[in-house]
Each structure stands twice: as structure tokens, then as C-alpha cells.
Amino acid sequence: MDKIPSLIPTLVFIGKMNSGKSSLINALTNQDISIVSNIPGTTTDEVVKRFELLDVGPINIIDTAGLNDESDLGILRVNKTKKAIKRASLLVYVIDSSNEIDLSEYDKLSDEKILVFNKIDLLSNEELDRLKNKYPLALFLSIKDNQSIISFKKKLTKLLQEQDSLLLSNINLKFNKIVHVIPIDSEAPKGRIILPQMQLIRECLDTDLISIVLKESELEDYLATNNDIGLIVTDSQAFKIVSKINNHRFCLTSYSILQANQKGDLNYFIKSINKLKTLTNNAHILLMESCSHNASHEDIGRVKIPRILNNIIGDNYTFDFKMSHDFPDNLATYDYIIHCGSCMLSAKIMDKRIKQAKELNIPMTNYGLIFAYNSGILEEATQMFKKV
């Protein structure tokens, strides 16, 4: 369960027991993913599967036990369903249209959701028309009608595509050349480059931007003979040296600042940076990374960020280091949140985390902005976003 890469959109099917969620998933995916029977509560634990949706790519599907499980294990299962909801890119709320319509649970869900009336083959034409008139935005399906399943797929595709955004969205580039600065140091994984770097290179290919990939030691020579650079993007840890070499000639930022632009709330993150110095003694800080990876002696979250914090606010603070899906339900004990760039997290999930922080007025920022601030180049590394 914890191994699902969250970058892949996650559809969470939810609804009362026996509303036909599992059969609907099986019809959607054309596979027997979920155990199906007409005994309420057959899906007693959530079932997670990967499925390829044309024009979107791989998606995760979570079939939940439902929110109305009153069996002995019910509370545990309902809690699991609530956890799954937190990870959803999109909630699919399934109703058995042949039963009494109760939308009280659906109405309580604040995440992006789609209402699906299932089993419409059990309704008369008049009953179906009445429902359609009453719920004009809902979908009306029967797993016995392949056409309605195709329409369902189209709707899901549209909604998931609308959630996609680009790392370079809202940035005006003067030239179509992007210089990627990728340090190959002891922290670099052997034989590959990390996901945010890959994502940006792929985005450049998709959007007809030219990528120049080099190490920081090669940058000076390259800049000496090139004047047509739209943007330099560096690993945050090389900010200082790259900024010095660039000397304000070209726009400069980092991968994690681009991620904040793509799926964070860059303005909130920048405002929060300015609140860092106002943290009082004994501040309690949450350091959050969206994936688990082997920690090295120079690990960013466990070693480098605390070192920077010592530099900025002194050492009179405590921090919790959390990974993967362990974003705390209750943030009230924290005074400040520092998140990784979240390359493996979907925009929807990042949105939810930021919303949680904002509701409690807790400043939140990310690694890249902390590095930029500590290197004295926060203004330089974020100025291109202000022109928008």
C-alpha cells in the first residue's frame, strides 16, 4: 500500500457497501481486480490496482471498503477509507440507484469528486429521467451497458487531464534553451538522474525547448560562449556556485522551486520563508519527504536542512522527520512545515497538504526555497514568477 508512487493519479472509489463499486472497477479496467458479490461488505479492505487510461497513462485505483461499514472491524476499515481519500486525485462516489438515494456522505466530501449513479439497468425509464433531472452533473451507468462505461472513461480522462500542469507553466522564456545543472556528487544516484531532472528534460522535449545538460563545473565555459539561454535550472544544493557563475545574466531557479510553481503554492511558500526568522524558541518543525530513500551521511532532510535551520534560527528547536504517506493528520503541534520538492506527489495531494497547513495558519515552504534563502538568492531564484 505504501509503495504506490503518488505521482500517478489515484482514483478512490467510495460509497456505501454493495453500491457496486467493485463491479464498476472491474468493468472499467476489464479485469477482475475487485472481489465481487452481492453480499454487502465484500470489499472488506481497500484494494489497490494499477490501470492504464488512454491519454492519461497509468493510474492507481483504490477500491475502498466504504464509509458505512458497521461490522466489528468497521472503524478500522472506515479509517482506512478516510486515509485513501487523502491520497485521491479524484473521488468516484458510487450510488446504487435502485436503492434509496442518500447523499449525506457524498455532500461531506470536500475533495474533487464525481457522482456516479450505478445499476441504472434496474430503473424504469421514468425513474431514470427523474434522477437525471435532479442530478444533471452526475453520471448514470450500468456495467451491462458498455457505452456507459466508455462515457465514464472519457469523463475520468477529461477530469484527470485538467489536473495536469507543467513545471514551466506561467513562465515567460526569452529563449527556448534550458540549461539543466546536475551535480554528479556523492549524493547522485549511481547510473541515473533523479525524477525532477528527468521530468523537466521530458517536458522540454514535449514542448520543443532545447535542453543543455551539464555539471556545475562545466557551466562557466558554456555560459562564456552562449547568449541565448531562457532559463538555468539547478539542483538547489548548487545554488550558490551557479548563481555566482551566472552573475544575474540569465534567469535562474531550481527543480524544487519549479515544483512549487507546478504543484505547490509558490506565493505561500515564499511568504512562509520570510516567517522563518520569526520562529520562537522551542519551535516544533515538520520536515516532510514524499518518498522513502536510503539516507546518506549528507542526507538533505535529516542533515542539511537542520544544518541550515541552525544557521538561520539557532538550534533551539525540535523537528519531526516524516516520509512517504505519513503526513500527520493533526498539524496543530507544528509551528512550521518544510516539504521536499514532492516530485513523486500529485498536485492534488500537495494541494491538500498545503490547505491543511493554511487552515491552521502554519507557514509552509519547501527545500529549494530554504536553500535559495540560505544562499542569499531567494529573490533571484523566484523573480521570474513575479513577472506573471
User: Rule CB under 6 A: is residue 342 a binding residue for ligand SF4?
Assistant: yes
CA distance 46 to 84: 8
- Nearest to ligand SF4 of 87, 119 (CB atom): 87
User: Rule CB under 6 A: is residue 182 a binding residue for ligand SF4?
Assistant: no
Of 166, 181, 343, 169, residue with least CA distance to 250: 181
- Nearest to ligand SF4 of 5, 40 (CB atom): 5
User: Rule CB under 6 A: is residue 290 a binding residue for ligand SF4?
Assistant: yes
Which parts of the chain are beta strand (E)?
Answer: 10-15, 47-53, 57-63, 90-96, 113-118, 139-140, 177-181, 210-214, 231-234, 252-254, 283-289, 317-323, 336-339, 364-366
User: Rule CB under 6 A: is residue 287 a binding residue for ligand SF4?
Assistant: no
Of 215, 266, 242, residue with least CA distance to 383: 266
User: Rule CB under 6 A: is residue 90 a binding residue for ligand SF4?
Assistant: no
Q: Which stretch binds ligand SF4 (CB under 6 A): 109-117, 161-169, 262-270, 283-291?
A: 283-291
Per-residue interface string for the shown chain with ligand SF4, residues 193-232, x marking contact by CB under 6 A: -xx-------------------------------------
Rg of the chain on CA atoms, in Å? 24
Q: Which stretch binds ligand SF4 (CB under 6 A): 11-19, 100-108, 288-296, 308-316?
A: 288-296
Residues 312-341 that bind ligand SF4 (CB under 6 A): 340-341
CA distance 249 to 251: 7
- Nearest to ligand SF4 of 123, 194 (CB atom): 194
User: C-alpha cell of 171?
Assistant: 513562465
Judged by CB under 6 A, the residue of 46, 96, 265, 289 near ligand SF4 is 289
Q: Long-range pairs for 117-124 at CB < 8 Å and ≥24 separation?
A: 117/141, 118/19, 118/20, 118/21, 118/24, 118/94, 118/142, 118/143, 119/20, 120/145, 120/148, 121/145, 122/97, 122/98, 123/97, 123/98
- Nearest to ligand SF4 of 155, 302 (CB atom): 302
List all residues 6 or more positions away from 20 whose beta carbon is below 8 Å from its beta carbon.
94, 96, 118, 119, 143
Q: In the complex, which residue's CB is closest to ligand SF4?
A: 340
Question: Shortest gap between Cβ of 99 and ligand SF4 (angstroms)?
Answer: 42
Q: Which stretch binds ligand SF4 (CB under 6 A): 113-121, 147-155, 181-189, 287-295?
A: 287-295
- Nearest to ligand SF4 of 213, 291 (CB atom): 291
Rule CB under 6 A: which residues touch ligand SF4?
194-195, 289-291, 340-344
